[in-house]
Chains A and B, each alone.
Chain A
Amino acid sequence: MDFWTLTNAVASGLLIGLVYGLSALGLSVIFGVIRIVNFAHGEIMVMGMFFALVMFRWLGMDPLLSVPLAAGLMFVFGYVLQRVVVSRVSHLPEHMQFLLLAALAIMIVSALLLIFGPDAQGVEVDYAWESFAFGELIIDYPKMFAAIAAVIVASLLLAFFKYTTTGKAIRACADNRMGAQVVGLNVDRLYALTFGIGAACLGAAGAIILLLFEVHPYLAPGYTLLAFVIVIIGGLGSLFGALVGGILIGVSEAIAAILFQPSMKTAFSFGLLILVLLLRPQGLLGKAAR
């Protein structure tokens, strides 16, 4: 294998990895603040994909233009889900919360199957086959645009948590829930906002990734698993770690696909996961448990 083949694979993996990273951010935000593991993660992302698909078919809208709409719609979905459903089980043991969200995941997949059927469907944008080249490094437009969009959304999210008062209040809830109550933060509302924001990331990631892959309802569990792997590799609770983990997984999958064969790529990511768990169980950017 020559240098350029490898470089192309790494570049392509890096771009896709950024979109994976955005999706993993959605999981990390929700877990980091509400301490709920969102087992309906991939399903919410696939809802974003189908939304972008409908907008493309119906209005001819580029999936990238659907990103804000998909994010907004999933924000509302996540907000209501936390307020009406998840908040009622947050005092119960973890396996019961897990069952609730796993059940929700099954319901979403079934509903999508009823509406859209089981076949893979995709969009074809004008620039689908266009690319540009640096020497022998060839970058596809869709992958590049997808990565740029993912970086923009992820930056907005990080800036929200760093600079806005509401973002700081949400971090305060995550840091010390009792302290948050003491200063009179409306913890229930901030939790709902957080779930909404996490789901909005997924809606955005879904709309973006529709540029690259076709969508069908059964994609969802795979995305859930992928996000878990990324978040554990990057470090639970570290937002930046989720992005780094996403890039690592994207690149390692791409390398696995050319070194061995494409169907080996998942085995490769799980191999990476096991390696991280053995050598650095708190994840690359995670803090050791106190």
Chain B
Amino acid sequence: MILSVTGLNLFYGDAQALDEVSLEVAAGDIVAVVGSNGAGKSSLIRTIAGIEKPRSGQVVYKGVDIAGWPSHRICNLGIGQVAEGRQIFAGLTVHENLEVGAYLQRGRHKRAETMERVFEMFPILRKRADQLAGTLSGGEQQMLAISRCLLGQPELIMFDEPSLGLAPTIVQEVFGIIKHLNEDGMPIILVEQNVAISLRMANRAYVLENGRIVLTGSGDDLLRDDRVREAYLGL
């Protein structure tokens, strides 16, 4: 296992956001976490990333328990994140966004070659390199967010609602990119409201409800599960 989360509990004040959550990611996996709004999907990602501090539980990444570590150290270990709402730096240029993505030690020494790589993946970003990131379209901003994450040299990427607010054709493209990254060997955690697509892509999936994992299995198993079909696919 690259990442194994065990018994994670997170509180915002008195409200419990995560309740004994356990999850595993193996090499080459796409792990989907599905659930409705407010189920705790983003909280789970933010806790693994170190932005939220869990009250208890373990987050073991490559044999080291990183629960409660500060986010910059976790990032520097190679856990990258493409956050909900993209969270690009709107007032910085595209190029500057990418540079800041490689700010940590881990990304810094490979900055030039990775920048070239993402420009090849997304030629539009090269064209817009000196433009302010806030002037990009939603789809371009998502490509920038993914590229910025890649500049940090991640060995595991967590995607939080990558399809949110994007046009359907762009959504297809974004999922294509995620698939492609995975085929190149990148383990992925995918948090999505778009349950059908994410379950179809995932080789393992978890259903989160009110901060608890209520179902787990392969993506196909969950697609056939009556409860999932009823609650999330409307079938």
Interface residues of A (CB under 8 A from B): 165-166, 168-169, 171-172, 175-176, 178-186
List, in ascending order, chain A residues with CB within 8 A of B83's CB: 178-179, 182
Report yes or no: A175 in contact with B152, Cβ–Cβ below 8 A.
Answer: no
Interface residues of B (CB under 8 A from A): 49, 51, 70-72, 74-76, 81-83, 87-92, 96-97, 99-101, 103-104, 108, 148-149, 152
Residue of B nearest to A162 (CB): B96
Known: A176-B89, A183-B75. A168 touches B99 (CB 8 A): yes
List, in ascending order, chain B residues with CB within 8 A of A169's CB: 100, 103
List, in ascending order, chain A residues with CB within 8 A of B91's CB: 171, 175
**Complexed CA–CA distance, A176 and B101 (Å):** 13
Report yes or no: B99 in contact with A183, Cβ–Cβ below 8 A.
Answer: no
Task: Say which residue of B71, B96, B148 sits within 8 Å of A168 (CB atoms).
Answer: B96
Q: How far apart are B73's CB and chain A's nearest CB, in angstroms?
A: 8
The 15 sampled A-B contact pairs (Cβ below 8 Å) are: A166-B103, A168-B96, A168-B99, A169-B103, A172-B92, A176-B89, A176-B90, A180-B89, A181-B71, A182-B82, A183-B100, A184-B74, A184-B104, A185-B100, A185-B103
Known: A176-B87, A178-B87, A179-B88. A186 touches B72 (CB 8 A): yes
**Complexed CA–CA distance, A182 and B104 (Å):** 12
Residue of B nearest to A183 (CB): B101
Interface of A is mostly: helix
**Complexed CA–CA distance, A98 and B69 (Å):** 31
List, in ascending order, chain A residues with CB within 8 A of B76's CB: 184
Report yes or no: B100 in contact with A182, Cβ–Cβ below 8 A.
Answer: no
**Complexed CA–CA distance, A255 and B201 (Å):** 72
Given contacts A171-B96, A172-B92, A172-B97, 13 further A-B contacts (CB under 8 A): A165-B99, A175-B89, A175-B90, A175-B92, A176-B90, A178-B83, A182-B149, A183-B75, A183-B103, A183-B148, A183-B152, A184-B103, A184-B152
Q: How far apart are A122's CB and chain B's nearest CB, in angstroms?
A: 42
Report yes or no: A171 in contact with B104, Cβ–Cβ below 8 A.
Answer: no
**Complexed CA–CA distance, A101 and B204 (Å):** 52
Q: How far apart are A280's CB and chain B's nearest CB, in angstroms?
A: 21
Residue of A nearest to B93 (CB): A168
Known: A179-B83, A182-B87, A185-B103. A168 touches B92 (CB 8 A): yes
